[in-house]
Structure formats: structure tokens, C-alpha cells
């Protein structure tokens, strides 16, 4: 018999004390527009314990207290002017759902993929009369028979990037544990980021192809990663990161799997944080929790990537990352006609996001850090993507959550990656 999750009706968790409200409207930064960030990001934190009593109340209290310094999150997204969403500081609060599963986490394989509980059962939704696109963040806490819990979060990419959302969730954990205030003071200041001149769009709008991507999960061991790091150091005298190594493996293996013509271009787009480049623009870079990303784009032909070694591709990635600061500063100051956010949306493009270091794995509501965090945006079919996750404890290395090829290329991609894993 399939597991059953029983949900309570969604309720609002408002800030624990008064916050600036009424007519206060806060603008968003220029980066959300360039990045086409009007999406909801969904993820699950899995805790092997915490549900033995008081967990739901502690997390609810954590949200209520965190929403005082993070008062914009208790508001709503409004769009008085088409194409110009803002945050109305209504003070309504976040939608919160309590749920119980009639099984233990072991009964559903610790929520490993393929999921034995439908994703919608683990994620919060507002009441049917509420517009989903107006919500900034929602939460659901599901308690399992074993005392484990799953915290499902949906947040608006208009308001947060991944690092910013993790900063907020860490504050929720700190408040749930009874700390007097967040360890990092939040900074809004979206209007402090310059608004680059809009680049005129020539010709018709880009065409969007709906692909039929399949989801796969592959583990890359720390032994394999360290071996490649050592090979790179021996060949170049330089160091490289875990991210560089795993990205080189994926770029090469995917190019081989999709088998485009030799002269076809294969694009790699890396979502990189640019917080370190906003000193002098923001009052405090450390506490900023808005969108702060710029794509590092690498383009080569299929033949070039096929012929290149992993070491050579690592060097390409490092060179592209080093050029980030110049490209981003040039873009934000209006000095470039090239907008890297507008990457090709064809089968030759894959976008990467590293969730292993964002901070969601470091959230502690009072019973330790989660054993596993994973994303649930499995319905995106416009652009191929891969997300890097920490594997469930105590495993080491990187877990690749892949949604970047169609069924006919999936087996070959996994086989090629496993040769290197």
C-alpha cells in the first residue's frame, strides 16, 4: 500500500512582532530581470530525527521570529506596472503546512529517488483562492513515524537567489533554537545595484523548444575528484576546485552522449555568485539576500570538447571563471553589448548550479543539520540543467542531479560519467 501523507490546511505564520507594513513597496534589483528569475524553487531537507515532539512548533516559531528582521519575506509580490514586480510589505506572513506521513523514512528509502511519495505531497501550497505567484516563501513540515521529518520549501527566485534563501533559512534555524537575533543581519538594498542600459533586442523573440528531459542521479566519489585534482596540479602547477573537476566531467560526458555534429556548438552555463563584486555598491555584501548571480558561459564545438582531456577542460573552466569579474562589472556598468543571461536555449546548452555549498545543508532547527537536501524542480523542460548536491551523510563527494538529456541519451551519459566516478 502506498504511503499516505495527511496535510493540515495551510495557515499563515506572520512576523512575531510588528514590522514596517502598509504602503511600503520595495523594488527588486536589475539582476532578477536579466536572469529571467520568475520561477519558484522547490527543495526538501531530510532530518533523520526531530519529529519526536515540538519540532513543528519550533520551526513555526523560527519562521515567525525570522520574519521580523526579514520582514519583506512576510509580504507579497505585486505588479502594479506590467513587467515591474515589487514586494509589498503587507506583513501577512508565509503559508505554513503541517503534515504527517503514515510510514517511516526507511519505508520510503529516506526519500531517495525515485520518490516513493509524490512530490506534491511533500511541498506546501497556499489555499486555492490564493495566487501562487504572489507568495515569496512557503513551508511544509512532514513528520514521519520514525521521528524523522522533511521540511519542504518553495521560494520565489524573484526575491532570493540560492545563497540568499539559505541565509534566510539559517536565520529561521537560529530563531528556532532560541538565539536572540540572526548571526547575519539581513540587507535588502536591491535598488543599490545599478540598472544596466537595456540592450535592444533585434529580430523576433527567441523560440522555446520543450524537450523531454529525464531525471538521473549520479555519484562522483571524492577519490575520483581528488585524483583529477592531483593530475591537474601535476600538469599545470595550479590547484583546481571540486566544482571545476565535476563540471569538466559533466561537460565532456554530456557532449559525447548527445553526439551533435562535430562543428555544432556546445554551451556550458555556470551560475556564479557575484556578491564579492558588489563591495561599494551595497552597505553590506555579507547580509545581502537578493539575486546576485551572473552566468559564466563557455562555448566550444562538439569536436573540441570530445578531443579535449578532462585536464584541458578544467583549464577552460578556470579561465572562464577568472574572466567573470571583468564581464560582470562591464555588464552592470553598461559597457558591453553582450548579455550572457541570454544564452541559447537549444539542446547543445547545459546550465549548472552548485547547491553543495549554498548553505541549505547547514540549517539547524535544534536537532542538528539535515542528512540530505535535494531539489524538486523536475518539471523544467526548456533548458538542460544539472544541480550539484551533497550526497546523504555519511557519503562524501558530489551527487549530480541531472535533468539535461532526453531518454535516448540518458544511458550513455550515465555510463560515461560512471567511468570517471
Tens-digit pLDDT profile for residues 144-166: 999 999 999 999 999 999 999 99
Superfamily of domain 5-192: Chloramphenicol acetyltransferase-like domain (3.30.559.10)
CB atoms within 10 A of CB 202: 5
Instruction: Using DSSP, state whether 50 is helix, strand or coil.
Output: coil
Q: Over 60: is that where the pLDDT of 202 sits?
A: no
d(CA 10, CA 8): 6
Question: What does 306-373 look like in DSSP terms, one character per residue?
Answer: HHS-HHHHHHHHHHHHHTHHHHHHHHHTT--S--TTS---STTEEEEEE-TTSSGGG--SSS---SEE
Q: What is the pLDDT of residue 282?
A: 87
Q: What is the pLDDT of residue 328?
A: 87
Q: What is the pLDDT of residue 405?
A: 97
Query: Which residue of the set 195, 346, 364, 378 is catalytic?
Result: 364
In tens, the pLDDT along 222-234 reads: 999 999 999 999 9
In tens, the pLDDT along 67-97 reads: 999 999 999 999 988 888 999 999 999 999 9
340 given a catalytic annotation = no
Segment 243-250 shows an average pLDDT of: 98
Segment 405-417 shows an average pLDDT of: 97
In tens, the pLDDT along 343-384 reads: 788 999 999 999 999 999 999 999 999 999 999 977 778 889
Query: Which residue of the set 92, 157, 244, 409 is catalytic?
Result: 157
157 given a catalytic annotation = yes
Of the two residues 34 and 77, the one the predictor is more confident about is 77
In tens, the pLDDT along 103-140 reads: 999 999 999 999 999 999 999 999 999 999 999 999 99
Phi, psi of 250 (to 5 degrees): -70, -45
The residue count for the chain? 421
Torsion of CA 169, 8, 100, 138, to 10 degrees: -20
Round the average pLDDT of the chain to a whole number and report it.
92
Q: Do domains 5-192 and 213-420 have the same CATH topology?
A: yes
| Upstream peptide bond of 114 is cis (omega within 30 degrees of 0) | yes
Residues 229-251 as b or e (16 or more Cβ within 10 Å = b): bebbeeeeeeebbbbbbbbbbbb
Is domain 213-420 in CATH 3.30.559.10, yes or no? yes
Domain boundaries, the chain: 5-192, 213-420
Amino acid at each position: 500500500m502506498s504511503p499516505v501523507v495527511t496535510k493540515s490546511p495551510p495557515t499563515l505564520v506572520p512576523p512575531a512582532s510588528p514590522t514596517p507594513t502598509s504602503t511600503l513597496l520595495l523594488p527588486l534589483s536589475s539582476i532578477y530581470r536579466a536572469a529571467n528569475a520568475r520561477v519558484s524553487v522547490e527543495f526538501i531537507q531530510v532530518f533523520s530525527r526531530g519529529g519526536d515532539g515540538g519540532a513543528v512548533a519550533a520551526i513555526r516559531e523560527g519562521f515567525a521570529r525570522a520574519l521580523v528582521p526579514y520582514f519583506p519575506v512576510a509580504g507579497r509580490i505585486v505588479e502594479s506596472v506590467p513587467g515591474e514586480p515589487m514586494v509589498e510589505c503587507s506583513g501577512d506572513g508565509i503559508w505554513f503546512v503541517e503534515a504527517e506521513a503514515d510510514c517511516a523514512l526507511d519505508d520510503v528509502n529516506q526519500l531517495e529517488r525515485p520518490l516513493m511519495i509524490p512530490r506534491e505531497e511533500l511541498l506546501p501550497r497556499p489555499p486555492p483562492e490564493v495566487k501562487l505567484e504572489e507568495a515569496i516563501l512557503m513551508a511544509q513540515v512532514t513528520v514521519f513515524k520514525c521521528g524523522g521529518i522533511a521540511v519542504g520549501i518553495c521560494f520565489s527566485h524573484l526575491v532570493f537567489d540560492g545563497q540568499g534563501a539559505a541565509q534566510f533559512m539559517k536565520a529561521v534555524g537560529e530563531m528556532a533554537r532560541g538565539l536572540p537575533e540572526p548571526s547575519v543581519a539581513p540587507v535588502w538594498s536591491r535598488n543599490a545595484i545599478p540598472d544596466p542600459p537595456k540592450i535592444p533586442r533585434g529580430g523576433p523573440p527567441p523560440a522555446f523548444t520543450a524537450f523531454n528531459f529525464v531525471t538521473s542521479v549520479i555519484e562522483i566519489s571524492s577519490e575520483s575528484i581528488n585524483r583529477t585534482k592531483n593530475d591537474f596540479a601535476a600538469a599545470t602547477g595550479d590547484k583546481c576546485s571540486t566544482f571545476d573537476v565535476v563540471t569538466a566531467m559533466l561537460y565532456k560526458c554530456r557532449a559525447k552522449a548527445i553526439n551533435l555534429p562535430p562543428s555544432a556548438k556546445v554551451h556550458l552555463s555556470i551560475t556564479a555568485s557575484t556578491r564579492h563584486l558588489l563591495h561599494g555598491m551595497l552597505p553590506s555584501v555579507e547580509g545581502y539576500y537578493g539575486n546576485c548571480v551572473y552566468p559564466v558561459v563557455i562555448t566550444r564545438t562538439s569536436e573540441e570538447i570530445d578531443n579535449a582531456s578532462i585536464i584541458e577542460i578544467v583549464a577552460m573552466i578556470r579561465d572562464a571563471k577568472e574572466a567573470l569579474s571583468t564581464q560582470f562589472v562591464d555588464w552592470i556598468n553598461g559597457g558591453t553589448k553582450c548579455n550572457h543571461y541570454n544564452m541559447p536555449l537549444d539542446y547543445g546548452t547545459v546550465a549548472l548550479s552548485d547547491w553543495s555549498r549554498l548553505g541549505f545543508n547547514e540549517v539547524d532547527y535544534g536537532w542538528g543539520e539535515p542528512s540530505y537536501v535535494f531539489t524538486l524542480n523536475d518539471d523544467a523542460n526548456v533548458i538542460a540543467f544539472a544541480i550539484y548536491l551533497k550526497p546523504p551523510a555519511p557519503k562524501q563527494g558530489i551527487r549530480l542531479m541531472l535533468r539535461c538529456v532526453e531518454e535516448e541519451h540518458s544511458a550513455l551519459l550515465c555510463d560515461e560519467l560512471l567511468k570517471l566516478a
